[in-house]
């Protein structure tokens, strides 16, 4: 990936499908996969999204016969990590403490999640 880029929702939806597949995909295959979910994606729209993802460095393309086959250059886990780090930096100056403080007293975080977070922090601390 050339730089850390956030994807628009439609391009992210396409990437998520490619990551789920775990293999190369043609434009026609991607159209069929997306349309199987009840949406109407035009061939040219999907081809454009795949080209954008290639230009952004998320996909590589090879030609097999008369078909273009796309495959991911970045893992879903790496994308999520980049997104989380970017969000933390943009919104909280890179401070995990400020991020967590934003949830303090919130009913949006469950006790079970707090327990898991504490266990993760203990495990992280033990790893030093």
Q: Give the CA radius of gyration of the chain.
A: 19
- Tens-place pLDDT, residues 92-111: 999 988 888 887 777 778 88
| Whole-prediction pTM | 0.80
Taking the domains of the chain in order of start, what are their residue ranges? 1-92, 95-128
Domain 1-92 in CATH 1.10.10.10? The answer is yes
Mean pLDDT of the chain: 91
The answer to which of 17-21, 75-79, 105-109 has the lowest mean pLDDT is 105-109
Do 25 and 70 meet the contact criterion of CB atoms below 8 Å apart? Answer: yes
């Amino acid at each position: 990936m050339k730089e850390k880029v956030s994807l628009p929702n439609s391009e992210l939806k396409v990437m998520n499908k490619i990551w789920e597949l775990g293999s190369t995909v043609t434009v026609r295959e991607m159209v069929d996969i997306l349309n199987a979910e009840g949406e109407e994606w035009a061939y040219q729209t999907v081809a454009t999204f795949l080209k954008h993802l290639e230009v952004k460095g998320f996909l590589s393309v090879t030609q097999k016969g008369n078909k273009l086959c796309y495959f991911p250059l970045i893992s879903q886990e790496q994308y999520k990590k980049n997104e989380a780090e970017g969000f933390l930096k943009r919104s909280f100056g890179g401070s995990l403490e400020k991020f967590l403080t934003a949830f303090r007293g919130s009913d949006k975080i469950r006790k079970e999640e707090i327990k898991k977070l504490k266990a993760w922090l203990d495990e992280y601390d033990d790893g030093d």
